[in-house]
Amino acid sequence: MEQDTIAGIASGMGGGIGIIRISGMDALLLAGKVFRTRKYLEDGHSSWDEDYFKYQASHTIHYGLIVEEDESVIDEVMVLLMKAPRSYTMEDVVELDCHGGPFLIQKILKLLIRLGARLAEPGEFSKRAFLNGRIDLAQAESVMKMISSKSDFALKSAVDQLEGRVSEHIGKVREEILYYMGMIESALDDPEHYSLDGFSDKFAQILEKEIATLGQLMEHFEQGRMKSEGIYTVIVGKPNAGKSSLMNLLLDEERAIVTSVAGTTRDVLEETVHLGSLILNVVDTAGIHDTEDIVETLGVEKAKEYLGRADFIIYVVDVTDSFDEGDEKILSLLGDKKGVILFNKIDLQESWEEREWKDWLQWEGISFSSKTGEGLDQLEKYISDAFCQEDISFNNQIYLTSVRHLEAVENACHSLESVLQTIRDGMPEDLYMVDLMDAYRSLGLINGETASEDLVNKIFSEFCMGK
Amino acid sequence: MSYVYDDYDVIVIGAGHAGCEAALACARLGCRTLVFTVSVDSIAMMPCNPNVGGSSKGHLVREVDALGGEMGKNIDKTFIQSKMLNMSKGPAVHSLRAQADKEDYSHAMRKVLENTDNLILKQGEVAEVLVEDGKVTGVRTSSDAIYPCQCVVMCTGTYLKARCIYGDVSNNTGPNGLSAANHLTDCLIDLGIEVRRFKTGTPARVDGRTVDFERMQEQKGNDRIVPFSFTNQSEDLEREQISCWLTYTNEETHDIIRKNIDRSPLYSGNIQGTGPRYCPSIEDKVMRFADKDRHQVFLEPEGLYTNEMYIGGMSSSLPEDVQYAMYRTVPGLEHAVIVRNAYAIEYDCIDPVQLKASLEFKDIAGFYSAGQSNGSSGYEEAAAQGIIAGINAARKIKGLEPVMIDRSQGYIGVLIDDLITKGTNEPYRMMTSRAEYRLLLRQDNADLRLTEIGYGIGLISQERYDRLCDKRLMIEREIARLRKKTVGSNEAVNSFLERHGSMPLKSGSNMEDLIKRPELSYEVLKEIDEDRPDLPEDVQEQVNINLKYEGYIAKQMRQVASYQKLENKKIPEDIDYDEVGSLRLEAIQKLKNYRPASVGQASRISGVSPADISVLLIYLEKWKGAKE
């Protein structure tokens, strides 16, 4: 197999120790090029054997130093050796436990790349593990999520999935579908032996139960997604209400800003803000345009689109300004979304009238000043409460965290509903199979399993067939 | 000393259900064809159950008929009971089954073979298939005669190194004491063909005079006969029918089996061959499904010429004394006298993944294999492979492209694709659950699916093809008429609907929508469909099914379209899988071994993952790009 050698940071950034992972056919050689034992350096031998690791046993740990091309020492490391196929990617893998901070880790990584490694793409180790048959699809995606997981919650969910909890949960539903498919098929294949009299009523009930089970998974998906990928938060308000200053305030706080990337369109800027255990993906509707009005800048349709996607809306109101049609325009777009009204600039005016807004909206109002920071704690607490009140039940739930999984479960649900419809239409039992098989296949996508021989094996193992 | 005998275009080894179809196809396509059989008296013999068809197997027979084969016509001539199974289920799983008069069946087929131009029968054993430079040149018999030929079709059934066993009795014979073919296996191994050993079995036959039918339930055939062959009409096949009988095993039976299980060669290790899971011996059923307190037993007449009855459901390889005791515990069989003991049979067969979809060996040009020697089981499965192998041997000789039926065209396609792509670890039986597009592959439309292909090959007459075209046209026109035909919500219509337990109409509807109602059908609606033309029954049936199940059928058509996309992505024969980056090692090995013809086929090989298929598709795109 032709696989080039990749290197990347396997640990998250930050923290005391950073791990660089090298995987591929030249992993051992590359590691040998940059590694020196302390003994070698101290003894001052004439030449270092770059094939050093090739002679070492797999699954061993080596202490030593990393040197640049000119033999100058960069860092002190522990090297973990895992030779193919007994490694995560099933290729030769070397992991360097580096003690220095992020700067040194970057320096070592750059060195490896100069020497011929390619910088691993996000999730590429998992991809290789998957392509080499090391892990199944659900696990691979989970690992990818783990690498990029931005919050504690996401990590927990990723770990759950890694342990196959989603797979297991889905597996149970799948197994039951398979059993009934086997039963139907046995009766079709050997009608003089197995009868389906009265089966359809009973089966309809079973299907309803399965649909409910899958429905629950889907319901929790939204919560799961928000926690692992962030709560999509949109700030709206009339021009000069103080949206940008709110954004800056959120960003200026001493919380870690993970990323600052352009949004999906160039109309807005999306920022990621950590709020306790939550992640907010805040869309600054002021964006990169001069004008601050989302409605005017983007047009009503675009504005609707952003607000439609929003998990949470912060509506900033300037208390020194009066309620007018600009507010009405915004209010008409908010629909039944979750959100909060920030009554901004209370440092300039001490009293104001909430009534106009309250007539339109059942949202909580928070007195706020982007100048003094008053109300910020309250805002954070409010958002946190709004999304974390069910935290205890969160821990006992199983979450679908990837859109691909959601899609698969949705399709399966849809197929099972079609089976129910087939039953209600009084169609014969063999027609149940069309959609049952679809449901079975859709769920199989979650752990990357195919259906080919399952049914036939099920028929033979559970039902006594034959002449 | 060897000597050269006559030469032929095609030599068929074996005259069972596969061999007969293969030989007839070749001869009818103008090839000089020689058929070897261990006994001319055993042509198209039915050594096990005395019936043809049944779930999914009935489909195969009708498909063979639509392609121009003989099995359907032959069972229509010789059946003694006919039944359509699964009538309460959807049309896709309606299955035709007929009890055969075994002797009659065999004689009728022999007569057809003997009276077919270009076809010669020869009693003898082929010991060697002669191959030079990867190409068939002829065969050598055990009497050392050499018959040069261009193609060989191997249809050796269960005869290769066959051994029949019950208890500790073991005879090196084929079924019914016929001589086994003991030489050919070695030749196959020398040719590099992988050979395996399978096992199957048959129950005892009892003297009908000693059976107490009073204690059993009578199983009658249908009054209205549905012919297997599309060339026959229902009314021409009416005849007096013979009944089968249903009874059950009981705890006493199971006790005897459990107490003597250590004397079963299956459990003692005397039989090593792999048996079929779908057709287990009674001892297997009792041991594996211990929670079942009874199993069905069908008594089926072997024919009108004899009193012998086949005890369906109780195949066994237990010793003679245990069989005797066991059968006599079954109600109705208390005094039964056994004419022939039950036995298991072990035989050599090939690993079918070595074959192309044309049933030609990938590595030996002109060498074809069909039937039970490919690891399948059943008369119908054998016939289906036989006709395809025969057609393709003849086409090879004429320099034509092989004919291959795919999974969306017929059960024949499913059967062959399963065998050559997935291989099999047990005798393979057709099942409707194996056909993913079975709503399209019904027994009622086998002619609409395959007659045109048979016509193209040259096995279907112009007259029969014209009739098919007429039928197609009638169906299309009638469906179009019904879609347009409006039905008012008048009193006559609504009282009709109420009478049939159907919701009255509030406003106008059309005939198409009424047919789709579960409680109504094309036939029932005749009453309120004044200008309905007088159409043949089979046309009416198609119209009804096509409209009634339209949504489901459309869904399967979409699935077929996406299936065909991958089928049409051909893999070049000279592909080097080592060059394809990122394929998993297991996938590389499997792909090298199976050499799939298309990405679709590759995707069905176990051990080739969806990720491998993506990788392969990308590679093929790249390869195509590079070539251009």
For residue A109, what pLDDT is reported? Answer: 84
> Could you list the residue range(s) of the whole structural domain that residue A128 is in?
6-134
For residue A277, what pLDDT is reported? Answer: 59
**Is B260's Cβ below 8 Å from some Cβ in A?**
no
In chain A, residues with a C-beta closer than 8 Å to the C-beta of B312 are 467
For residue B126, what pLDDT is reported? Answer: 97
Residue A386 within a domain: yes
| Same domain, residue pair A39 and A167 | no
The domain that contains A272 carries what CATH number? 3.40.50.300
Residue A144 within a domain: no
* A389 CB-near residues (< 8 Å, 6+ apart): none
pLDDT at A252 over 90: no
| Same domain, residue pair B190 and B86 | yes
Give the model confidence (pLDDT) of A322-336 as tens digits. 888 878 878 887 777
Average pLDDT of span A278-291: 59
| Same domain, residue pair B184 and B150 | yes
pLDDT band at A389 (very low <50, low <70, confident <90, very high): low
> Please, what's the b/e burial string for A17-30 (b: 16 or more CB within 10 A of its CB; e: otherwise)?
ebbbbbbbebbbbb
For residue A257, what pLDDT is reported? Answer: 34
Give the separation between CA A218 and CA A223, rounded to whole angstroms.
Answer: 10
Q: Is B84 exposed, middle or buried (0-12, 13-18, 19+ CB in 10 A)?
A: middle
**Which tokens in the block code for residue B445?**
């439309």
> Could you list the residue range(s) of the whole structural domain that residue B498 is in?
472-555
Residue B448 within a domain: no
| Same domain, residue pair A191 and A317 | no
For residue A395, what pLDDT is reported? Answer: 35
For residue B195, what pLDDT is reported? Answer: 96
pLDDT band at A147 (very low <50, low <70, confident <90, very high): very low
pLDDT band at A291 (very low <50, low <70, confident <90, very high): very low
CA distance A51 to chain B (A): 26
* A401 CB-near residues (< 8 Å, 6+ apart): A145, A154, A157, A158, A161, A221, A224, A225, A228, A229
pLDDT at A150 over 80: no
Domain final position from A350, A373, A393: A393
Tell me which residues of chain B have a pLDDT lower than 50: none
For residue B523, what pLDDT is reported? Answer: 95
| Same domain, residue pair B84 and B32 | yes
For residue B56, what pLDDT is reported? Answer: 95
The domain that contains B588 carries what CATH number? 1.10.150.570
Q: State the angle between helix axes of A165-189 and A152-162 in degrees (0 to 180), rounded to the nearest 10.
A: 40
B88, B555, B581: residue with CB nearest A434: B555
Peptide bond into A85 cis (omega under 30): yes
| Same domain, residue pair B254 and B331 | yes
For residue A262, what pLDDT is reported? Answer: 33
CA distance A226 to chain B (A): 29
Verify whether the Cβ–Cβ distance B55 to A191 is below 8 Å: yes
Nearest 10 degrees: Cα torsion A425, A430, A431, A432: 80
CB A338 within 8 A of CB A312: yes
| Same domain, residue pair A384 and A404 | no
Coil, strand or helix: which one is A117?
coil
The domain that contains A451 carries what CATH number? 1.20.120.430
Please give the residue of chain A at the shortest CA–CA distance from B314. A467
Residue A118 within a domain: yes
C-alpha separations of B510 from B19, B480, B481 in Å: 51, 12, 10
Give the separation between CA B63 and CA B337, rounded to whole angstroms.
Answer: 39
pLDDT band at A396 (very low <50, low <70, confident <90, very high): very low
| Same domain, residue pair B326 and B362 | no
For residue A239, what pLDDT is reported? Answer: 75
Domain final position from A393, A428, A445: A393
| Same domain, residue pair A406 and A383 | no
For residue A14, what pLDDT is reported? Answer: 44
Residue A303 within a domain: yes
C-alpha separations of B106 from B40, B53, B75 in Å: 10, 16, 10
Verify whether the Cβ–Cβ distance A430 to B93 is below 8 Å: yes
A193, A428, A455: residue with CB nearest B89: A428
CA distance B580 to chain A (A): 8
| Same domain, residue pair B193 and B211 | no
| Same domain, residue pair B545 and B583 | no
For residue B613, what pLDDT is reported? Answer: 79
The domain that contains B491 carries what CATH number? 1.10.10.1800
Q: How many domains does chain B have?
A: 4
| Same domain, residue pair B178 and B211 | no
CA distance A453 to chain B (A): 9
Element (H, E) at B139: strand B135-141
C-alpha separations of B520 from A41, B494, B516, B523 in Å: 92, 13, 7, 8
| Same domain, residue pair B528 and B596 | no
pLDDT band at A299 (very low <50, low <70, confident <90, very high): low
- With tokens 């001319």, the residue in question is B40
Residue B442 within a domain: no
| Same domain, residue pair A234 and A371 | yes
A-B contacts (CB, under 8 Å): 111
Verify whether the Cβ–Cβ distance A190 to B432 is below 8 Å: no
Give the separation between CA A65 and CA B41, rounded to whole angstroms.
Answer: 86
**Is B49's Cβ below 8 Å from some Cβ in A?**
yes
Q: How many domains does chain A have?
A: 3
pLDDT band at A254 (very low <50, low <70, confident <90, very high): very low
* A168 CB-near residues (< 8 Å, 6+ apart): none
DSSP bridge pairs for B365: B135
Residue B443 within a domain: no
Residue B380 within a domain: yes
| Same domain, residue pair B228 and B321 | yes
Residue B456 within a domain: no
Residue B252 within a domain: yes
Give the separation between CA B126 and CA B138, rounded to whole angstroms.
Answer: 10
| Same domain, residue pair B52 and B141 | yes
The domain that contains B298 carries what CATH number? 2.40.30.260
| Same domain, residue pair B217 and B189 | no
Q: State the angle between helix axes of A124-131 and A137-148 in degrees (0 to 180), rounded to the nearest 10.
A: 170
